[in-house]
Amino acid sequence: MTAAVALGWLAVVINTTMGLPQLFRLVRTRNVEGVSLTAWRLILAMNLAWTAHGIRISQMPLIVTNVLGPLTTVPILYLLARASGRKMLPTLMPGLVFAAAAIGVDLAFGSAAYGVAAVGLAVIATVGQSLELIRAPHVRGVATLFMVLAVVNQLVWLGWALLVADPGSRISATSMASMAAFNLVWYVLRRLGLRAFFPVAVLEPDVVGR
């Protein structure tokens, strides 16, 4: 087994399971404080777009991890939709539209252009989560293990991308690793007592169960 294959499948394991701590926390606590709907919509878009990209470049690690990703992404979106009183289809639609746009870029302009598009999706997702971490009065709905695994996952994907020399994956993984690290640091600061900036009202913790 080559180093690229080993790293690719390690990334599959991490990427496939990292959403579980967040899903379990939402189910267990019924608390969505600090969890970004925008971020999870874009995570769904990336699941779908990276599945298509993996098929195009014949890389099974990309295909497997992103085919399995919606098994946690969609339930999390369902819980967030219930918490905000939204219907499920309108909640999913932005993610589907962004995924279709990224796939179109990949097919029309190639891997490097797709990498730029994928970074765009990642930036929107990360900024959405960053804003929640900065503005939410509390971040008790965010799973610590998910935040840590988000950084580890991108570092592993970066190592894989360097070994397989895919420019799209390399561009995206580098950017996403940096942004995930920022969110982790800010989350830790919030848990240590840093106050919210420009706080907004949040729903009651039990609203998911209504």
Instruction: Give 71-88 pLDDT, tens digit per residue.
Output: 999 999 999 999 889 999
Q: Over the stretch 20-33, which tens digit does the pLDDT of each residue have?
A: 999 999 999 989 99
Tell me whether residue 85 is in a domain.
Answer: yes
Over residues 186-204, the mean pLDDT reads 82
Q: How far is CA 41 from CA 30, 82, 184, in A?
A: 19, 14, 19
Q: Model's pTM, two decimal places?
A: 0.84
Q: Over the stretch 123-166, which tens digit does the pLDDT of each residue have?
A: 899 889 999 999 999 999 999 999 999 999 889 888 888 888 77
Over residues 160-178, the mean pLDDT reads 81
Tell me whether residue 37 is in a domain.
Answer: yes
Tell me whether residue 73 is in a domain.
Answer: yes
Where residue 1 falls among pLDDT bands split at 50, 70, 90?
Answer: low
Angle at CA of residue 184, ends 178 and 188, nearest 5°: 150
Minimum mean pLDDT range among 11-15, 24-28, 107-111, 183-187: 11-15
Q: Residue 192 has what pLDDT?
A: 95
Tell me whether residue 16 is in a domain.
Answer: yes
Tell me whether residue 77 is in a domain.
Answer: yes
Q: Residue 71 has what pLDDT?
A: 93
What type of residue is 50? W
**For residues 106 and 14, which has the higher predicted lDDT (pLDDT)?**
106
Over residues 186-191, the mean pLDDT reads 96
Tell me whether residue 24 is in a domain.
Answer: yes
| Domain assignment of residue 143, given as a range | 3-96+103-193
Cβ–Cβ under 8 Å, residues 141 and 190: no
Q: What is the total count of domains within the chain?
A: 1
Tell me whether residue 207 is in a domain.
Answer: no
Where residue 209 falls among pLDDT bands split at 50, 70, 90?
Answer: very low
Tell me whether residue 203 is in a domain.
Answer: no
Interatomic CA distance for residues 86 and 69, integer angstroms:
22
Interatomic CA distance for residues 111 and 164, integer angstroms:
13
